[in-house]
Amino acid sequence: MANAILKIKGMSCQHCVVSITKALKDLKGVKDVKVSLEKGNAEVNYDDKLVTLSQMKDAVADAGYTVIN
């Protein structure tokens, strides 16, 4: 298992949090997601054999947000 903190630009409300959480949880290999509107990030616990950091960044982008790290 691995952990990543994705700094996300463009979140402004609880709907944003729900959208990003769903986009990341839908990826095979993502075990847990905690999105913080206040911190502007998502903490992701995932199996690095099943999903890559790049795939997670793409999922956030596909949801309409930008990963800035």
Share of the chain above pLDDT 70, in %: 100
pLDDT (0 to 100) of residue 26: 98
pLDDT tens per residue, range 12-41: 999 999 999 999 999 999 999 999 999 999
- Four-way CATH pick for 2-67: 3.30.70.100, 3.10.20.740, 3.40.50.720, 3.40.50.2300: 3.30.70.100
Ordered by start, the domain boundaries in the chain are: 2-67
Q: What is the pLDDT of residue 69?
A: 79
CB atoms within 10 A of CB 20: 25
CB 69 within 8 A of CB 14: no
Q: What does the DSSP assignment read for 17-67?
A: HHHHHHHHHTSTTEEEEEEETTTTEEEEEE-TTT--HHHHHHHHHHTT-EE
